[in-house]
């Protein structure tokens, strides 16, 4: 999802149809260029994706091959590190691939560079896509792709630890009640909560539920609401309710801490559902300050159709896109919640325990929402830098966020 060190934990690890998983990004070869063939049955179409760990034997590769067979074409797939997507596409222009899977926050950047077609340009119907998931690919009222699926975050808990500490999970309604629960867990000899506050997009991803849940907006990073959210995290570390390791934790290493059985809580994603089920861990939506669930960010890639010299190719590119997003085929292959009701219903028929994550995905919020578009990257960098500065005691939450707001504003 985020960068090469983030380890694509926002997208893979378990590929079975009944499991929500995530893919771990690692360095990969740079992507090639598109074929120049025209759009007709039997021709070759190029598809780039950010899954170098998905071999030809993977469910994802098989799904692509099946689509190619059904459509009577050849799909030449090239995989590369998700962190290289923008650079690779910009370098390849105008010889762009027919299909490019792009981490959703990067869609606006590519759209602003003029590399992607809109659904109005190419004719792709997105009317059946869940609205909040689709928003990640929209800028100024234009839609630049279709999500293959989505994942999001929740608040996992260890029932055994909570029971021993006398914590009733139903009392955890907001930051204050969660803090009270953490204090009980620590007083009982266990550890409170683990999460990822690493200085990358991954840290922003994990902070956003608390930020949004407090009523803060990404257009004003230094608001009182934003300060309250960062103060909560900072106080947890200062009071020993969260470990100092959160400053370096990826979502993967944070999960490894939680899997030791010594923590009461962990913020993490739907891709760890299988591990949680096996360990007997449970999950609730992250609590917001109003007593309702906080909006968590959506993770996942968009299937985009880059600009082609020959517009006749779009007709087949649409068919490829629909083959990978209609129903639950593509979502299952990548371990995501399907982006359509029909796909979600198919997933729930196989595994009814996915209902929590279907509900969580429905209330999730894209990081580029509020029409932030390509501005999001700058804002995110400023925000995760502020989180790092506050949690490491380099600055107070208010000062760290004031600096972040100035940096974000200066870059616009």
Domains, the chain, with CATH or none: 44-151+299-362 (3.40.190.10), 153-296+372-411 (3.40.190.10)
pLDDT of residue 327: 84
Q: Which two tokens stand for residue 334?
A: 């990548």
Q: Flag whether pLDDT at 35 surpasses 80.
A: no
pLDDT in tens, 227-285: 999 999 999 999 999 999 999 999 999 999 999 999 999 999 999 999 999 999 999 99
pLDDT in tens, 390-405: 999 999 999 999 999 9
pLDDT of residue 412: 60
Give the Cα separation of 30 and 215 in Å (integer). 41
pLDDT in tens, 68-117: 999 999 999 999 876 677 888 989 989 999 999 999 999 999 999 999 99
pLDDT of residue 86: 81
Q: pTM, whole model, 2 decimals?
A: 0.87
Q: Flag whether pLDDT at 6 surpasses 50.
A: no
pLDDT of residue 3: 35
Long-range contacts of range 86-95, CB-CB < 8 Å, 24 or more positions apart?
86/110, 86/113, 88/30, 88/31, 88/48, 89/31, 89/48, 89/115, 89/306, 90/115, 92/31, 92/32, 92/33, 92/34, 93/307, 94/307, 94/309, 95/33, 95/34, 95/36
The answer to whether the beta carbons of residues 150 and 133 sit under 8 Å apart is yes
């Amino acid at each position: 999802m985020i960068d090469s060190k983030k380890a694509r934990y926002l997208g893979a690890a378990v590929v079975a149809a009944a499991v929500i998983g995530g893919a771990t990004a690692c360095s990969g070869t740079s992507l090639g260029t598109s074929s120049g063939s025209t759009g007709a049955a039997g021709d070759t179409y190029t598809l780039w994706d950010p899954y170098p760990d998905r071999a030809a034997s993977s469910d994802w590769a098989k799904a692509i091959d099946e689509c190619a067979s059904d459509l009577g074409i050849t799909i030449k797939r090239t995989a590369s590190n998700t962190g290289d997507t923008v650079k690779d596409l910009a370098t390849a222009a105008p010889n762009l691939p027919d299909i490019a899977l792009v981490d959703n926050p990067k869609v606006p950047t590519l759209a602003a560079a003029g590399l992607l077609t809109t659904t109005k340009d190419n004719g792709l119907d997105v009317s059946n896509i869940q609205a909040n998931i689709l928003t990640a690919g929209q800028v100024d009222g234009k839609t630049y792709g279709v999500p293959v699926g989505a994942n999001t975050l929740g608040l996992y808990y260890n029932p055994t630890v909570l029971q021993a500490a006398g914590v009733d999970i139903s009392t955890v309604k907001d930051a204050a009640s969660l803090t009270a629960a953490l204090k009980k867990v620590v007083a009982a000899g266990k550890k409170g909560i683990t999460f990822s506050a690493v200085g990358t997009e991954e840290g922003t991803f994990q902070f956003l539920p608390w930020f949004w849940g407090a009523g803060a907006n990404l257009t004003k990073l230094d608001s009182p609401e934003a300060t309250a959210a960062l103060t909560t995290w900072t106080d947890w570390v200062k009071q020993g309710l969260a470990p100092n390791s959160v400053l370096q934790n990826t979502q993967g290493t944070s999960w490894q801490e939680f899997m030791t059985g010594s923590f009461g809580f962990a913020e993490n994603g739907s891709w760890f559902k299988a591990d949680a089920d096996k360990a007997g861990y449970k999950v609730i939506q992250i609590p917001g300050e109003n007593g309702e669930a906080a909006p968590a960010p959506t993770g996942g890639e968009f299937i985009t159709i880059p600009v082609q010299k020959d517009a006749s190719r779009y007709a087949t590119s649409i068919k490829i896109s629909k083959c990978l997003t209609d129903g639950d085929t593509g979502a299952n292959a990548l371990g995501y919640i399907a982006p359509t009701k029909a796909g979600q219903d198919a997933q729930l028929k196989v595994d009814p325990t996915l209902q929590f994550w279907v509900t969580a995905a429905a209330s999730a919020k894209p990081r580029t929402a509020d029409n932030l578009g390509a501005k999001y990257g700058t804002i995110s960098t400023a925000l995760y830098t502020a989180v790092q500065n506050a949690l490491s005691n380099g600055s107070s939450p208010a000062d760290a966020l004031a600096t972040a707001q100035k940096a974000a504003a200066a870059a616009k």
